[in-house]
Chain A
Amino acid sequence: MRETLEEFSGRHIDGLYHGALFLNGGEESPAEDLVLWTLTGAFQEFRQLEEGSATERWIEQKLVEVFLARTVSSDDESTDGVGPSAEGAASQGPPSGSMEIDQEALFGAAAKMPPLARAAIWLVVFRRWSYGEASSVLGTDVEGLKDLLRYRQGLVTAVVRRTLDPSGTDDERRH
């Protein structure tokens, strides 16, 4: 018997919620709305999916599409604090040894990045999509995707800075 969307949602809702939290810079309310819109919007299409389809990738794509569709385009300019960096430049690497990354800082730093960059990083860095698949979902080419992924360096820097200097203000954590 084929899985229902309710069963599918039950299996994936935790992962989708965490993706939505990252995409929304740690804000819980819009993250919950994003998951809700994604799963209800997927209702009709889910029935038409062929058995054996890559449903996890499919719903992740839906999450990003809904997020981008509902994000105000002017947000693309709000990059204060975390910006792209030249890909080839020597980067500030993570500290050696084990360190506790401040997870709130991760979401907080994401909040300062353009939505499209957040979506690119979520797909590629966290969900391990290939460059080709991710660029297709984001409506760009591979070179455009690489540009977006340059924000990743800023994300690491912000997270590491925040972790090493936990006395930062709340304003630094969230926009």
Chain B
Amino acid sequence: MERMNCSQARHTLWPPERPRLAEAEVLEARRHVQGCEACESYFEQDRVLLDAYDRTSQERAPQMLRERVFDALARERSRGLALEPPRRVSRRWAVAAAAAVVGLFAGGLAVSLLNGPDRGLNDGGLFAEDYLRRAVSQERLVSSDPDEIGRFLTRELGRPIRPLQIDGLRCTSAEICLIEGRRGAMIKYVQDGREISHYLIPQEGTPERDPELSSTFSRRGEGGPALITWATPEIEQALVGEVPVARLMELARNASL
């Protein structure tokens, strides 16, 4: 067998940390590297470079970038809806959406007239996209009706979500939130004039976990908001509000029943 050169040896042993069968080619490459200063240095340099790169990887991507990405993906998703069969929408939402289209059309017509014929709204896709986005997707609902909030969240998240129904706790609104790329619900309540927010983030495989006070806020001492986190099967949950920790914990325990 012809002696292996540096290039062949490096190619054969790349990446060096990968386990490989001790075949003749591998053994020959290893023999070459052991007797070759340049190749030994090559693999040592590789380790140094990888180490330097890995150290920079500990920094997280900026929050602004995350938001831009998730906003862009939401836009892509709404575009995709236009290609899928329409979903049944309630009469109320259809009316609201139609009103939005009329409003947009009026506004768009005004813009079109101001900008000349080239900027007209002949592209019906623009209306269709906006109609679909508004008709089948909603990000916020202001209501004190737990049933209405439940229906809204169930429709948006595709699984049954119910607001807490505890004496003295009144729901005021619900929103769709996005945490680390996961769509979830944030339900707002008022109790004794103080606002409490309840997060529910569906996550497959989440095991049940008892409520506990999060260190995120407890480190800040008394006077700030308290945060309790726990999990029911498949759902991460959190309660946050400027109420006594004991009260928040009691609510979390009731919520996890």
Measured between beta carbons, the chain A residues less than 8 angstroms from B51 are 101
Tally of contact residues, A, Cβ under 8 A = 49
Q: Mark A96-140, 1 if CB is under 8 A from B, else 0.
A: 000001010011000000000000000011101011000000000
In the bound complex, CA of A89 to CA of B80 (Å): 54
Closest CB-CB distance, B220 to chain A, in whole Å? Answer: 26
The interface-forming segment of B38-46, B111-119, B248-256 is B38-46
Interface residues of A (CB under 8 A from B): 1, 4-11, 13-18, 21-22, 28, 32, 35-36, 39-40, 43-44, 87-91, 93-94, 101, 103, 106-107, 124-126, 128, 130-131, 142, 146, 152-153, 155-156, 159
Which B74-130 residues sit within 8 Å CB-CB of chain A?
76-77, 80
Measured between beta carbons, the chain A residues less than 8 angstroms from B11 are 131, 142, 146
Measured between beta carbons, the chain A residues less than 8 angstroms from B68 are 32, 36
The answer to whether B45 and A17 have CB atoms under 8 Å apart is no
Given the known inter-chain contacts A10-B182, A106-B53, please indicate yes or no for A39 contacting B72, CB distance below 8 A: yes
- Further pairs besides A17-B65, A32-B65, A36-B65: 20, Cβ < 8 Å: A6-B178, A6-B182, A7-B181, A8-B181, A10-B66, A13-B61, A13-B65, A22-B53, A39-B72, A87-B10, A88-B7, A89-B38, A90-B37, A91-B41, A91-B45, A101-B55, A107-B56, A131-B14, A156-B48, A156-B49
In the bound complex, CA of A128 to CA of B42 (Å): 15
Tell me what chain B mostly uses at the interface: helix, strand, loop, or mixed: helix
A-B contact count (CB 8 A): 127
The answer to whether A6 and B48 have CB atoms under 8 Å apart is no
Which B1-55 residues sit within 8 Å CB-CB of chain A?
5-7, 10-11, 14-15, 17-18, 37-38, 41-42, 44-46, 48-53, 55
Measured between beta carbons, the chain B residues less than 8 angstroms from A8 are 181
Measured between beta carbons, the chain B residues less than 8 angstroms from A32 are 62, 64-65, 68
